[in-house]
Each structure stands twice: as C-alpha cells, then as structure tokens.
C-alpha cells in the first residue's frame, strides 16, 4: 500500500494582515448595523454582512488564495469612493474609503 501523503493546507496570511482584516470585518458589520438603525437601510446591512462574511472566510483560510481578500477590499473601496464622490460627505463613505485603502495597503505590504 502506498504511503499516505498529507493534505496541503492553504498558506496563512501574515499576522498584521490578519489583524487588519479582522478589524475591517468588524467595522463593516458595525457600519451596516448603524446604516440600518440610523437610516433604515437594509441593503447597507446585507451588503456589509456579505462582504464581512467573505472576508472572514478569506481570513480563516476557507477561501483561498488569500489575494481574494485584496480584490474584495478593493471592490468595497471603489463602492465607498463612488459614494463619497456623489455626496462629498466624509461620514460614512469617506471614512470607510480611508479604512479600505489602509487595509488594502496593509494586505499588499504585509506579504
């Protein structure tokens, strides 16, 4: 009988990338809840929860390769940039755009 070979595990992201990603996931969920409570925006909660779950799956290694997280954060950054350009209000779109760019930079540099 041939010897058993171990199942390869996906590479895990560096600690700085993981910490920044988990903080970002938390901010997305809190932002979605605030959008629901303050403005009654169900779509805000749904989209933030969707992206938060996808990013959490990337952080835990369920979705791999890890660069999928880069794409997801980039998409969220573009969405917040469009919202910021439409409204010219820093809160919440500008702040989340800033967070998105910082997290994306952290993800790209941490590797």
Can you give the residue ranges of every domain in the chain?
15-110
Which pLDDT belongs to residue 12? 61
Mean pLDDT, residues 12-30:
89
pLDDT tens digits, one per residue of 51-97? 999 999 998 889 888 899 999 999 999 999 999 999 999 998 999 99
User: 49-69 burial string, b = 16+ CB within 10 Å, else e?
Assistant: eebbebbbebbeeebbebeeb
% of the chain exceeding 70 in pLDDT: 92
Using pLDDT thresholds of 50, 70 and 90, give the confidence band for residue 5.
confident
Q: Which residue has the tokens 């992206």?
A: 51
Q: What is the pTM of this model?
A: 0.85
- The predicted pLDDT at position 10 comes to 57
């Amino acid at each position: 009988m041939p010897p058993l070979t171990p199942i390869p595990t996906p590479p895990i992201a560096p600690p700085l990338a993981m910490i920044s990603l988990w903080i970002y996931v938390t901010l997305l969920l809190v932002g979605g809840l605030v959008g629901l409570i303050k403005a009654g925006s169900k779509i805000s909660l749904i989209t933030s929860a969707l992206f938060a779950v996808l990013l959490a799956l990337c952080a835990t290694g369920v979705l791999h390769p890890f660069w999928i997280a880069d794409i997801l954060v980039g998409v969220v950054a573009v969405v917040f940039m469009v919202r910021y350009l439409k409204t010219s209000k820093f809160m919440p779109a500008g702040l989340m755009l800033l967070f998105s760019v910082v997290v994306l930079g952290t993800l790209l540099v941490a590797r």
